Chain A
């Protein structure tokens, strides 16, 4: 008859403990923290929300996605129910606190960047066919000059919650700032729900907070030519956004005409192929990636160095690179 002694029982117990430890040893987070990921086509692009939380990550991710949808519907100048559509097409004053607040912030960025960032560039988008009606032929100088008369931050007036036109044919677009704002709003919703770590990606406008198992979040920076990845940024509690000439453009006579306009000339900005900005929030990263693109490497780097928490990488069409002083801190 088999006889078991006390020291054998201890061996069995030790083996069981070893198995349990191996199964949980790689996870730096509490075993009970759960993960959810949601992706959908939204805001004219592909959006993803990744969430780590103790409680109901599916619900948190869905709420964040819904908030981005709400923001987009309000700021989308092509949505007939949006106050921006009414302003642009019928001259109705915008009477919305949220829209006016973002317009106010846009005005401040316009002033800081010497006019490089401008929400009144919509007539140029229309003229060059970047407003959902592709033209793919450069307009002539007279047409550009005519459109430029409708561009300028001085052609709208923002008072409290209200935006009015100072010139009848001015039109606005939040296309270079609303996506970033939507990402910030999604992050706010997630933090309110007690989420400890998340990544929100709205077509390349990204905000990360907290960490994921294994450490900081990793964001790949797309190379402006060729589609590969140039760098990988490691971050937590930061936003990353890129403006580039390679997603929305047409070629004519061997020349590239893209969608990021210089509000001063009426032509697509030249001298830059891509700008990647790291900032404390996604709205700032989104807006300044456009502004720095227009400003060009020297002016943009000089401004970035004065801005707390803002770093940038600028690549020219010849693939020369310019970086602000702290950018390398984020690289793996």
Chain B
């Protein structure tokens, strides 16, 4: 390749390194922003009890309820609360979704990036 007038091999090396750094930072930046639902959190009385990987099937037994992770989803399978609203809510799997048991003061929620959430809150 014919060199540009006034440039040396080292100039091209610096240009190459600069572009590589810019490209690498771009890739890292967009990868950070595209993380989906990987974890679910379980909190009781506002305190985190457990963080569960949604990719791994799991059965969690708490004092007052049982929670199941299966096929990338999570649900409350049984609860000692009187009305079982949390159980009847079924499976959740998307960032921003949550299962709430008010009598047991327990929240099961899906972690995820803001851009992956379908909604910011639910009216019910």
A residues neighboring B (CB under 8 Å): 2-5, 7-8, 11-12, 14-16, 18-19, 22-23, 26, 39-41, 44-46, 48, 50, 134, 199, 201, 204-206, 208, 212-214, 217-222, 226-229, 232-233, 240-242, 244, 247-249, 276
- What is the distance, in angstroms, from B4's C-beta to the closest C-beta of chain A? 8
Tell me, in angstroms, the Cα distance from A56 to B53 when the chains sit together.
Answer: 33
Q: A15 touching B119 by the CB < 8 A rule? A: no
Q: A242 touching B123 by the CB < 8 A rule? A: yes
- What is the distance, in angstroms, from A95's C-beta to the closest C-beta of chain B? 32
Q: A3 touching B8 by the CB < 8 A rule? A: yes
Q: A8 touching B124 by the CB < 8 A rule? A: no
Partner of B121, one of A5, A16, A206, A248: A206
**In the assembled complex, which residues on chain A have CB atoms less than 8 Å from the CB atom of B7?**
5, 7-8
Q: A11-B14, A22-B29 are in contact. Are A222 and B122 (CB under 8 A)?
A: yes
A214-B114, A222-B124 known; 11 new pairs, CB 8 Å cut-off, are A4-B14, A8-B14, A12-B14, A15-B18, A19-B21, A19-B22, A41-B105, A199-B120, A220-B121, A229-B122, A247-B124
Is B19 at the interface (CB under 8 A from chain A)?
A: yes
Number of interface residues of B (CB under 8 A): 37
| Residue from A41, A208, A212 having most chain B Cβ neighbours under 10 A | A41
- What is the distance, in angstroms, from A227's C-beta to the closest C-beta of chain B? 4
Q: B120 touching A219 by the CB < 8 A rule? A: yes
Q: A218 touching B118 by the CB < 8 A rule? A: yes
Q: B114 touching A232 by the CB < 8 A rule? A: no
Partner of B124, one of A4, A5, A134, A242: A242
- What is the distance, in angstroms, from B33's C-beta to the closest C-beta of chain A? 7
Tell me, in angstroms, the Cα distance from A226 to B90 when the chains sit together.
Answer: 8
- What is the distance, in angstroms, from B26's C-beta to the closest C-beta of chain A? 6
The residue on A at minimum CB distance from B14 is: A8
Tell me, in angstroms, the Cα distance from A226 to B22 when the chains sit together.
Answer: 48
Q: B90 touching A204 by the CB < 8 A rule? A: no
Q: B120 touching A217 by the CB < 8 A rule? A: yes
**In the assembled complex, which residues on chain B have CB atoms less than 8 Å from the CB atom of A217?**
120-121
Q: A44 touching B10 by the CB < 8 A rule? A: no
Is B11 at the interface (CB under 8 A from chain A)?
A: yes
**In the assembled complex, which residues on chain A have CB atoms less than 8 Å from the CB atom of B25?**
19, 22-23
The residue on B at minimum CB distance from A45 is: B102
Q: B114 touching A213 by the CB < 8 A rule? A: yes
The residue on B at minimum CB distance from A46 is: B100
**In the assembled complex, which residues on chain B have CB atoms less than 8 Å from the CB atom of A23?**
25, 29
Q: A199 touching B121 by the CB < 8 A rule? A: yes
Tell me, in angstroms, the Cα distance from A134 to B103 when the chains sit together.
Answer: 14
Total of A-B residue pairs, C-beta within 8 Å? 114
Q: A46 touching B123 by the CB < 8 A rule? A: no
Is B88 at the interface (CB under 8 A from chain A)?
A: yes
Q: A11-B18, A219-B123, A244-B124 are in contact. Are A44 and B26 (CB under 8 A)?
A: no
Q: Report, nearest first, the 6 A-B pairs whose CB atoms are least far apart.
A: A220-B119, A15-B18, A222-B124, A2-B10, A204-B124, A220-B122
**In the assembled complex, which residues on chain A have CB atoms less than 8 Å from the CB atom of B117?**
218
Tell me, in angstroms, the Cα distance from A5 to B88 when the chains sit together.
Answer: 70
Tell me, in angstroms, the Cα distance from A219 to B7 when the chains sit together.
Answer: 58
Tell me, in angstroms, the Cα distance from A12 to B22 when the chains sit together.
Answer: 10
Q: B118 touching A232 by the CB < 8 A rule? A: yes
Tell me, in angstroms, the Cα distance from A217 to B121 when the chains sit together.
Answer: 9
The residue on B at minimum CB distance from A250 is: B83
Q: B83 touching A227 by the CB < 8 A rule? A: no
**In the assembled complex, which residues on chain B have CB atoms less than 8 Å from the CB atom of A11?**
14-15, 18-19
Q: B14 touching A218 by the CB < 8 A rule? A: no
Tell me, in angstroms, the Cα distance from A242 to B122 when the chains sit together.
Answer: 10
Partner of B10, one of A4, A19, A199, A219: A4
Is B89 at the interface (CB under 8 A from chain A)?
A: yes
Interface string of B64-100 (1 = CB under 8 A from A): 0000000000000000001101001110000000001
Tell me, in angstroms, the Cα distance from A26 to B113 when the chains sit together.
Answer: 14
Tell me, in angstroms, the Cα distance from A10 to B117 when the chains sit together.
Answer: 41
Q: B107 touching A39 by the CB < 8 A rule? A: yes
Q: A2 touching B8 by the CB < 8 A rule? A: yes
**In the assembled complex, which residues on chain A have CB atoms less than 8 Å from the CB atom of B124?**
204, 222, 242, 244, 247
Interface string of B42-70 (1 = CB under 8 A from A): 00011000000000000000000000000
